[in-house]
Amino acid sequence: MPTPRQAALSMLNQVLNEGRLLSESAALRALEGLDGASKARAMRLANETLRNLERADKILKPHLRKAPAPYVMNLLRLSTIELAHGGDAHGVVNEAVTLVSRHKKYGAMKGLVNAVLRKVAAEAPEKVKILRAPRLPKWLRGPLAQAYSAEIVGAMEAAHLAGAPLDLSVKSDPETWAQKLGGTLTPFGSVRLADAGQVTALEGFEAGDWWVQDTAAALPAKLLNARSGETVLDMCCAPGGKTMQLANTGATVTALDASEARFARVTENLARTHLKAKVLCEDALTHEGTYDAVLLDAPCSATGTLRRHPDLPHAKTGDDFGALIELQAQMLAHASTLVKSGGRLVFCTCSLLPDEGEVQIEDFLETHPEFTADTSVLAHDGINPEWITEEGGLRLRPDYFSEIGGMDGFYIAVLNRA
């Protein structure tokens, strides 16, 4: 049976050496054989190492004549960050030596691993405190630096380093659930838990009283303001958070997603929460029908979710930006044909890049005069008027609400059809 550290190392190798995301099934197989608490610990170790990769390398550099093989380097990085954050030196070093000694190819490196980590154990807790927040990779930092000031980019990098608390969307009575779970309410009304532990063990999970959803991710469906009796389409719906929000209003919801693997999660989540929606596994670009309201959470770079997915900047390269931007434009144009006269369309992306948000809506409004941006609905609890953009959308950033744990980066626009 693997240990949490062993599983974390396996996931790091897949992200950093193979370019896989932690959410991919191949990476998740590293968790097989672990109980719920051990899985949570392994994920935490992997995520913390990815967030602090630059710091780990700076701490290790004086102790390495040259970088060892990727497997050994990732083991050193994992161990260094655990030591820097107060991990038991004896346990961390001993297990690292054990793991490398068992490796057929790198067993002879156990002496190096032992010597380096014993030195790191003595200095890492203090040294990590004076190192800057890790910078994003150039492929991502470049576009962000073009869109935002250096100060804002730095604030977002600090938010990514801080990580993310756990946010929940509840079916009813969020104040009571915050008290039950020892959490607080975000300005957008989500229940926020600073240290949730094993999610499936929390009260209300099995009964389906809530689901995990970042507070920013919950805002598009809230701004859509679906009502009982309305017909609503949720395009690109997986994993189903927004579908459940919409279904919880009493609206008649149709949920689409083209990925069979992701679609299975939507069905599972609806079943657990006892909410109803018509679920269709099909291409959103070929779907036909008319609806009172359409929510399009378009495929995007996901650059707004780095505080929760620190693997993303290491597993991606930005090569798909152009294709994603084109796909978003196509989906937005098609979504507009599915909205009834007098209906509304919400477009959103979990991206920090204006080309995937502000620019998309600016271009859309120029070519679709039957639609107008509705800024009146943005007078919502928690929304700072300064976040409303020139074309009438809403820009959310990870450094907003930083004093309580931040939020995902999102762009949202509410569009009304004449």
Quick check: 292 and 343 in contact, CB under 8 A?
yes
pLDDT at 318: 87
Burial pattern 174-186, b for ≥16 Cβ within 10 A else e, equals: beebbeebebebb
Identity of the residue numbered 389 = T
239: cis peptide before it, omega within 30°?
Answer: yes
Could you list the active site residues?
350
pLDDT at 396: 98
Locate 350 and state its tokens.
């979990």
Quick check: 347 and 356 in contact, CB under 8 A?
no
| C-beta atoms surrounding 348 within 10 Å | 28
List 339's β-bridge partners, or say none: 291
CATH class of this structure's domain 4-130: mainly alpha
DSSP state of 286: G
**Location of structure tokens 């009283």:** 209
| Dihedral over Cα of 82, 85, 89, 91: its sign | negative
How do the domains of the chain map onto residue ranges? 4-130, 214-417
pLDDT at 378: 96
Quick check: 157 and 145 in contact, CB under 8 A?
no
Quick check: 156 and 167 in contact, CB under 8 A?
no
The number of residues making up the chain comes to 418
> Is the pTM value of this prediction over 0.85?
yes
pLDDT at 205: 96
pLDDT at 416: 98
Question: Which residues make Cβ contacts (< 8 Å) with residue 60, sequence separation at least 6?
Answer: 76, 77, 80, 116, 120
Quick check: 348 and 412 in contact, CB under 8 A?
yes
Locate 306 and state its tokens.
């780095």
Q: Give the pairing of strands 339-349 and 410-417.
A: antiparallel
Torsion angle (degrees, nearest 10) of CA 120, 315, 20, 212: 90
Identity of the residue numbered 151 = E
pLDDT at 293: 98
How far apart are alpha carbons 280 and 106 in whole angstroms?
49
Q: How far is CA 230 from CA 225, 245, 251, 260, 295, in A?
A: 10, 14, 5, 27, 13
Nearest 5°: CA angle at 16, between 55 and 46? 65
Locate 62 and state its tokens.
């004086």
How far apart are alpha carbons 119 and 300 in whole angstroms?
43
Q: Give kind and range of the element (H or E) at residue 265.
A: helix 260-273
Nearest to 393 by CA among 358, 350, 349: 358
pLDDT at 86: 94
Nearest to 273 by CA among 237, 295, 246, 297: 246
Please report, in tens digits, the pLDDT of each residue of the chain (418 residues total): 789 999 999 999 999 999 999 988 777 889 999 998 899 899 999 999 999 999 999 999 999 999 999 999 999 999 999 999 999 999 999 999 999 999 999 999 999 999 999 999 999 999 999 999 999 999 999 999 999 999 999 999 999 999 999 999 999 999 999 999 999 999 999 999 998 888 999 999 999 999 999 999 999 999 999 999 999 999 999 899 999 999 999 999 999 998 887 888 899 999 999 999 999 999 999 999 999 999 999 999 999 999 999 999 999 888 889 999 999 999 999 999 999 999 999 999 999 999 999 999 999 999 999 999 999 999 989 999 999 999 999 999 999 999 999 999 999 999 999 9
pLDDT at 26: 72
Identity of the residue numbered 375 = T
Quick check: 50 and 12 in contact, CB under 8 A?
yes
Superfamily of domain 214-417: Vaccinia Virus protein VP39 (3.40.50.150)
